[in-house]
Each structure stands twice: as structure tokens, then as C-alpha cells.
Amino acid sequence: MSLTPPGGTITIAGKTVSRLGLGTMRLTGQGTWGDPDDRHQAIRVLRHAVHTHGITHIDTADAYGPHTCEHLIRDALYPYPDDVLIATKVGMVRPAPNMWAPHGHPVYLRASVEASLRRLDTDRLDLCYLHRIDPEVPLADQLGTLQAMQDEGKPVFRQSTTLRPSRSTAAATKPSYGPFSSRSHGPRLGRVTGSVAPETSQSSAQPMM
């Protein structure tokens, strides 16, 4: 692409992308549930963002829909331009519209990564975040599962994350953006500073904040 990236550029997971990215959570039905009312318009939004405005950072999650946005991205942008980075998230389940619950069991996380690869029709996720820390599962087990997939040789992540103690939980420390962080939902590993939002125990489904 020869378009000027909006807001300049930033390096994320080893790839230089537009500083202004496109979040896809609102490209679903009401309550971040199911397909949007106009699926063709959602696809046009994605294509317009990339091919007209030069946005090369697309942020999504398997929980959006659930699964809706990953399908939309595939239908809109595949085959993906070389300069586009798609960041997705795993570790959240959706029992109902507007309801979200963390699910960090290692078996579930592994299955979620594999499912995202299939929905996006790719053999590698440019960037994969732990969507939310599950207070019922040791954090080391959650992050360790994602790291193990990388160590097994699966071309899933571009960059690893180092953990260190910080206050009552952990922090991600990285030169730019690491794969195990959360953009906006609840307890989160900070992207740039490595700070962690205070954790609150939530063992049941909660409305989205």
C-alpha cells in the first residue's frame, strides 16, 4: 500500500503499522452479539479503513459476536495485505448479549487460538492477547499455555512477553507491544508502560464495561 498511515506509524509485534487502528467490537449486533444488521456494510467499513484510509492495525477478539468479527475480517480482507496486522484476543466466553466471563483454562485457550486461526484463514496470528485474566486459573498457567504454543513451533505469535511481580498481580514488560495484554476490558496488562490495572475477582459472567 502507498497510502499515508493515519496518525503516523508505530511498531507492534515487529511490524510497522498505522498508529491509528480500527477496533471491530461495534461491527456486531446489539450487545456485541451476533451479526450486524447490515453485514455488507460492516465489510465495506473494514475494506474502506484499509484500502482508502491506510489503516493497517485491525483489533478484534473471538468474543466479539462471538466469532462474528473474525469472520467479517476474513471475508473483507483475505488475502491479507502484507502490511496489515490483525490482533485478536482469547480467554473470554459469551453466555448472552452484553455478558462476558473470563475463561482461562489452558485447554480452552489452546482451542481458542486454533479456532481463531481457522476463522481468520491464516497459519499465524500476528498478535494474540489474553482478553482478560481469569481469577480462577493461575496467571502463569494462562500465559504459559500461549507461550507453550509458540515454543512448540506453532507460528502463532511474533513476540513474547516477560512477566514480573507488580502490586497484587503481574505486569507485561516489553519493548513495544506484547501479545499477552488486554486493550480495554477489566484487569489488563498495559501495552506500553507495563502497568496493570487493579484486579477484581469475577467468577461469573458480568456485563461489559
Q: Catalytic residue at 80?
A: no
Which is the catalytic residue, given 64, 80, 129, 177? Answer: 64
Give me the sign of the Cα torsion angle 113, 186, 70, 29: positive
Torsion angle in degrees (nearest 10) through CA of 95, 101, 107, 109: 110
Q: How far is 21 from 126, CA to CA, in rounded Å?
A: 14
Tell me if 146 sits within 8 A of 113, measured CB to CB: yes
**Catalytic annotation, residues:** 64
